[in-house]
Structure 1
Amino acid sequence: MPVSIISHQDKQIILIDYKPCKNKEEMIATAREAASLFKQQPGKVLAVSDFTGTYGSEEYMNEVKKLSVEVFRAKTEKAAAIGITGIKKVLLKSFNAFSVNKLKPFDTMEDALDYLVS
C-alpha cells in the first residue's frame, strides 16, 4: 500500500511511498490517496515521502501544488523526503518555494524519521 501510517519513537507518521509508482498517473493517485488520509487525521500530521527510483512530471507537480493548497498546507506539522536526486532536487526546490510547509530532504529513512519526531 503506497500510503500508510507507521510508528517511530511512539509517534505516528504518514508514509507516502512512491517507489512502486511506474508512471505519473500512479504518482498522482498516490498523492491523492495521501491527501485523503491527511484529511481523516485529527489535527496536524507528520509525513515522510519516499521518492526513491521515481521521476517527476509537470502533471504530478501541478496536482501536488493543488493538494498542498487544499489539504497539505493546513494538515502538515512537519514533512521529510528521501530519494531526492537529480532533477527531483529542482522540482523539490520549486515545490518548497510554493509551499508553506517545507519538505526537507534526507539521505536515509532513519534520518528523515528522526527529524520528524525531534
Structure 2
Amino acid sequence: MGSPLYPESSPELARRRRELAPDVQAAFEAFGRQVFAAGALDAKTKQLIAVAVAHVTQCPYCIQGHTKAAQRAGATPQEFMEAVWVAAEMRAGAACAYAAVMLTSLSEDQ
C-alpha cells in the first residue's frame, strides 16, 4: 500500500502519533479494544462491519487492518465480499435518498 499518498504504516509513525498526543492515543486504543471485544456481536462480525465501513469511508489503512483482523477471527472470502456489497448498496442507497434534498431544492426555486 505504500505510496506518496498513503505512506506505509510503521512503528516510527505510531511512535510519533503517540508522542504528540499520548493521552488521546491511549484513550483511542482503549476505546478500540472495548468496541471490538466480543459482546452482543462476536469479534468476527464486528470486524466484518469494520471492513464494510472502511470501504465506505475509503480508508486504505482500515481496510487493510480490519481485513487482517477479520481473517484472524475466521472470516471467509465470501463473507468479506458480501460485507463489501452491503456497504456498496448502502452508499448507493444513500445517494438515491439524498435526491430528496435535490428535488426539494428544485421545487423551492420555482
| TM bracket, shorter-chain basis | 0.3 to 0.5
Larger helix share, 1 or 2 = 2
Which protein has the larger Cα radius of gyration, Structure 1 or Structure 2? 2
Taking structure 2 as the reference length, what is the TM-score of the superposition? 0.32
Bigger relative contact order, structure 1 or 2 (CA pairs below 8 A, ≥6 apart)? 1
Taking structure 1 as the reference length, what is the TM-score of the superposition? 0.30
